[in-house]
Chains A and B, each alone.
Chain A
Amino acid sequence: MKRIARSTLQTAINLVFFAVLGTAILASVFFMTHDAIVKSEEGEKLKLIKQIVPSALFDNDVIQDTLSIPASELLGTEDVTTAYRARLKDEPSAVVLESVAPDGYSGKIALILAVRANGELAGVRVVAHKETPGLGDYIELPKNPWIKGFDGKSREVYKDADWKVKKDGGQFDYMAGATITPRAIVKAVNKALVYFGENREQLFAASEPKKENRK
């Protein structure tokens, strides 16, 4: 009996040892790569911003002109996000917002959208999604121009009923076989525009005092 107990204990210790070792390796690799990961993600974000905000629209340092936005139901965010403000000769020209469509086919779809000062969309891009490859992933720009369909749209031109895919009686295209994905995005973009309309003043308020990068 004693022998069995001892060998069981030894086996357990062995397993714990490997678990601790694995955790240690993961933790160190995480810390080693964390900065590079944040940097490459930020770099990617910058590239995206330049894609959706035409360079003629701003002459300020967009990446530095930020505003922290608390979690918002309209934006679908559960965390503080960062808004980037584009200004031309100190006049606000556009704001870049992060938004999340919570009801994609396979979970959340992270979006980034640029709204001009007049409430018109300058552009929308999908930042992260888990939609079906080859089916629901036409929301990505290199694969399909679908997402460009939002350019120039606003809540002035399209009323609430128009912010739906055509199948549901709205104004937005979709692809047969994958309706849930565009439906989620159209809904999220519309809600983000509502958010913009309600918070326009604050969004373009003067830069908050510089603090260390916060998330």
Chain B
Amino acid sequence: MSLQEYKDILHNGLWKQNPGVVQLLGLCPLLAVSSSVVNGVSLGLATAVVMALSGASIAPIRSYVPNEIRIPVFILIIAVLVTVVQYLMNAYMYGLYVVLGIFIPLIVTNCIVLARVEAFASKNTALPSALDGFAMGLGLTAVLGILGAFREVLGKGTLFSGIDLALGDMAQGWVLHVLPDYKGFLIAILPPGAFIGLGLLIAGRNWLNLRAEQKARSKPAPAPLASAAQG
């Protein structure tokens, strides 16, 4: 694999095929944990690690798994990896484990993990598969982080609340009170806030994309050919 292909994998995960706002997969944690930046980013990163590991471990064995049972086997491997990550976090990152609590096992049910394994890792070698999983996970993390920031500021008027649970006591004073004396806006914290915020994010991404396309079109010469080739 060439460097360009690796770059494409990264670009796909973070922007072009972003799981959160383009593929619209993995919405379950989006709704559940994006009520604050710290929760969103932490679960996003845990998902990214699981996705990288599942890509790396499924790609090498893909030729040994009969087609008929590949889904159960993939799910089994993902479930094992998630549980391993859960044990490790419980043992060595207890604060974060307490924050994310019941959402960690839910990574198994996050369809983006299975989707990438099925769409990418079952057809590629280990290294690109790991990178693909990680890039997709980072794309999801970015969406969870932005959505978390949006909901936290609007709902509670703070940013980074609970960061001491993720990074230890030294981070105690890092919480930003963006809107002092804010009374709170409950709907932003509740699930509807996640739907509304996600809708705004998707619209924002589409708008940026459209603008970029228009810019490319208004420039003369090679643009049409190149975009047609990329399809």
Residues of A within 8 A of B (CB): 10-11, 14-15, 18-19, 22, 25-26, 29-30, 33, 36-37, 40-41, 43-44, 130, 133-135, 142-143, 177
Question: Which residue of the partner chain, among A14, A22, A33, A135, contacts B80 with CB atoms under 8 Å?
Answer: A22
Chain A residue at minimum C-beta to C-beta distance from B172: A142
Tell whether, in the assembled complex, residue A134 and residue B35 are in contact, meaning their CB atoms are under 8 Å apart: yes
Chain B residue at minimum C-beta to C-beta distance from A25: B80
Residues of B within 8 A of A (CB): 32-33, 35, 39, 64-66, 68-69, 72-73, 76-77, 79-80, 83-84, 87-88, 90-92, 94, 98, 101-102, 155, 162, 164-165, 186, 189-190
Determine the main DSSP class of A at the interface with B. Answer: helix
Knowing that A33-B88, A41-B94, A134-B189 touch, tell me 20 more A-B residue pairs with CB under 8 angstroms.
A15-B72, A18-B76, A19-B76, A26-B84, A29-B84, A29-B87, A29-B88, A30-B87, A33-B92, A36-B92, A37-B87, A40-B91, A40-B94, A43-B94, A44-B94, A130-B102, A133-B32, A133-B35, A142-B165, A143-B162
Chain A residue at minimum C-beta to C-beta distance from B68: A11
Chain A residue at minimum C-beta to C-beta distance from B72: A15
- Please name 11 pairs of A and B residues whose Cβ atoms are closer than 8 Å in the assembled complex, sorted by A: A10-B66, A11-B68, A14-B69, A22-B79, A29-B87, A130-B102, A133-B32, A134-B155, A134-B189, A135-B189, A142-B164
Residues of A within 8 A of B77 (CB): 18, 22
Tell whether, in the assembled complex, residue A18 and residue B35 are in contact, meaning their CB atoms are under 8 Å apart: no
Tell whether, in the assembled complex, residue A26 and residue B80 are in contact, meaning their CB atoms are under 8 Å apart: yes
Tell whether, in the assembled complex, residue A11 and residue B66 are in contact, meaning their CB atoms are under 8 Å apart: yes
Q: Give the 5 A-B CB pairs with smallest separation, nearest first.
A: A36-B91, A33-B91, A134-B189, A40-B94, A22-B80
